[in-house]
Amino acid sequence: MTADLIRQTGARLGFDRVGIAAAGPIARGDYLRRWLTLGRAGQMAYLYRNLDKRMDPSRMLPGARSIIVVAMSYRPAADQASRDAPTAAEGLGRIARYAWGRDYHEVLRERLRRFVEHLRSEGKEPFDARICVDTAPIVEREIAEAAGIGWIGKNTLVLHERLGSYLFLGEIITTLALEPDGPVANRCGSCTACLDACPTGALVEPHRMDASRCISYLTIEHRGEIPDGFREPIGPWLYGCDVCQVVCPFNRKAPATREPAFAPRPPAPAVPPGQIEQWTLDDYRRATSGRAMRRANLEMLRRNARIVQRNIARDPSP
C-alpha cells in the first residue's frame, strides 16, 4: 500500500492533512518525564499512567510499524468567529471554539473507521489497526510533528503554516510498513505573541506549558475550587480558553473548517453565566449531549459561571 493512496483516501474523507510517522519512541520523551516530575500536569493523574505507551506508541498495537496521522480544522467562518469575542459589558461567558459543535471525538472516530475500511477494501495487504482520538495514552502532538502535519508551536499546539492551530488530530496505528513523512520547518521565529498574551502565565517559556496554570485546564480538568490567584485572570472564559490561538499570526488567515458538524450551536459561542448557574441536571444533559462540553460536570460549569460573573461585575469594560 502506498503513502499516496493513503493521502488520497484521507482527502476524500474530508481530512485537511494526512501524514505518516514511523511507529516508535517519541522525540521528546525526556521532556515529558521532566514535565510530569515537575507536577505540571496538575490533577490530570491519568497522564502518569501507561507512561510506556506515551513514550512509545508502537506499544499500543502488537507489530505496529506506522502511524497514519490526520488533522481536521475546526476554525469557524469569519462571521461566526467574530461572535466568540463578546465584551464583558455584554455579560457573556466565552466557550472555547473546539467545543462549539458536535463532539470531535465522535466525528473523527467515525471518519477514521471509514478510513480503515477504505484501506482494507482498496489494498491487497492485510493489516491490523488501532484508531486513536485524544483519549488514548499517546502524545498526539509529538506524533503529528513527526508525521509532518505541522510543527509544535510556542503555545505547545500543532501549527500548520496555512491551516493554523485550530486542528483536531486523530491517529491510525497500523502494522502496515509505510514510508514516513519528514517533519516540517518550525516557523514561529521570534514571535512571542502567545506567551505575552496568556492571562495566567501558563506558557512558562517557548514550547513549555505549565498545564496547572492554564485556563483550559482550570475550567475543564480541575476538580474542586479554583485557587484565588487564578480566578480574576480567567476573565470571561466559562469553558476552555482560546487566547494563545486568537493572537497567533498563523490563525488570522487560516481557512474556515469544511466540516458542518463543527458549526456552533447553543450554548456556544457565548452564554450569560447566570444562565449556567440556573441549569438543572436535565438542562445540563440537554445542552451538553453529544458535545465536548460534557468533559466538565454541572458543578464545575456552575463554579466557572460564578467566577465569570464576578469578573464581569468587577470589570465591565470591553
The number of beta carbons lying within 10 Å of the beta carbon of residue 295 is 16
Instruction: Give how far Cα 112 sits from Cα of 107, 116, 163, Å.
Output: 9, 6, 20
Find, among 95, 74, 270, the residue nearest to 165 by Cα.
Answer: 74
C-alpha cell at 26: 517519541
Beta pairing, strands 237-239 & 93-95: parallel
Task: Give the bridge partners for 208, in sequence order.
Answer: 205
The active-site residue, picked from 134, 282, 283, 315, is 134
134 — alpha (psi -120 to 50), left (phi > 0) or beta?
Answer: left
Catalytic site residue 134?
yes
Positive or negative, the CA dihedral 130, 136, 141, 142 is negative
Q: Which residue type, as a one-letter code, is found at position 1?
A: M
Residue pair 122/5 in contact by the 8 Å Cβ criterion: yes
Positive or negative, the CA dihedral 220, 83, 159, 21 is positive
Return phi, psi of residue 238, to 5°. -80, -35
Residue pair 19/179 in contact by the 8 Å Cβ criterion: no
Return d(Cα 281, Cα 132) in angstroms, integer. 30
Question: Which are the catalytic amino acids?
Answer: 134
